Structure 1
């Protein structure tokens, strides 16, 4: 739209919102996105942020603008102190403005020139209106925003313009995207926690299976050793297998013994003497 004749020094020609609606309907027919309020309010926020960045480039102290990464960098504490008097400026900290170059190209006359004649702490107003020579969409369509622009009737003795600040409009589309993003983040976090829990359960189950298999193998080995010991009847072998095999500590003690000691150990367990 900016490169097709709709841009004028004061903003955009009357009818630009209708033009945007038609173009959106062509590209995204089922989106339900409207120029007003979705795009109009988003543009206001972006213009206000751009004004803050231009001010930082001229007057920033202790923090500044990284043109390579398109973000505000420097001392966070100093920046947050500066941002307290500028509504919405705190969100610019270390957040890339991917549309910076395009916004400067579009709103250079409205913002860039005006920011150079302002001092730190000044408040600005940006009016994107439909001039009477072009007519208006609704007769009084005005976009007000905290920003800066040079007035044609400003005299050298006039160093400050009247102070005025408009409260930013809420962007319902952005709010919806934020809510969706939060929901997805919560879902992913819950899924991550569930995966961790399942992994712990799997480890515990695997350990239990390994222990069971080891004990089962030791009992088989115990039975084979008992059968090979001299002087034991089948009844004694079975009873010893039951008595020793039910206690892993007894099996650990039994296996390394010499055969003659194993026989003594078995007889003691069968007789119940120890």
Structure 2
């Protein structure tokens, strides 16, 4: 199923509402969150075919994966964020090439707009390991503590 931008905006607002209402636990959302979001979507889009399973849970899985990749980049020296274009910035091509060597799936992230990233920080933040304090990732900053250098 392809989501419209409007549907994604409403889903993000629903997620933020669940966070505010205490539905977020230490490692994710409490059981039943997807059904709450299904109801939320139905209120905004009467007659929608968006269901908790598989639509909302799959969208959450994809968004959380993208959030993790973007957060890892943000924790690395040489990376930044452009609030106007909602894109990742990088100081030079060598830094980008090294990152893509470590994380090939990030290749498509460089010039893509991520309009929900700041919302994802609020929704998914502290949900997952970002590698920020990790040392010695194979071939990627051996022996270096992530986040130890300033951006």
Could you tell me how far apart the structure 1 residues matched to 2:113 and 2:38 are?
28
Question: Given the alignment of the two structures, is residue 102 of structure 1 paired with residue 145 of structure 2, yes or no?
Answer: no
The alpha carbon displacement at 1:91 in A equals: 2.0
C-alpha spacing 1:90/1:108, structure 2 compared with 1 (3 Å): same
Correspondence list, 1:162-181, <5 A: none
With the length of structure 2 as denominator, give the TM-score of the two structures.
0.64
Task: Report the Cα offset of residue 116 of structure 1.
Answer: 2.1
1:133 paired residue number: none
* Alignment CA distance shift 1:34-1:67 (3 Å): same
How many residues align structurally? 120
Aligned residues of 2:71 and 2:130 also touching (Cα < 8 A): no
Q: 1:82 to 1:116 in 2, by over 3 A?
A: closer
- With CA pairs under 8 Å and 6+ residues apart, which has the higher RCO, 1 or 2? 2
Q: Structure 2: where are the runs of 5+ without partners?
A: 1-17, 139-151
- Deviation by residue 1:170-201 (Cα, 9 ceiling, x = unmatched): xxxxxxxxxxxxxxxxxxxxxxxxxxxxxxxx
Aligned counterpart in structure 2 of residue 45 of structure 1, from 48, 62, 65: 62
1:60 positional shift: 4.1
1:156 equivalent in structure 2:
none
- Equivalent residue for 2:25? 8
Match of 1:116 in 2: 132
| Structure showing greater Rg | 1
Show structure 1 runs of 5+ residues with no match: 123-274
Q: Does 1:83 align with 2:113?
A: no
What is the RMSD computed on CA atoms of the aligned residues? 2.7
Runs (4+) off by over 6 Å:
none
Contact 1:53 1:65 in 2 (8 A): no
TM-score (norm 1): 0.38
Counterpart selection for 2:87 from 71, 93, 104: 71
Distance 2:106 2:136 in 1: 14
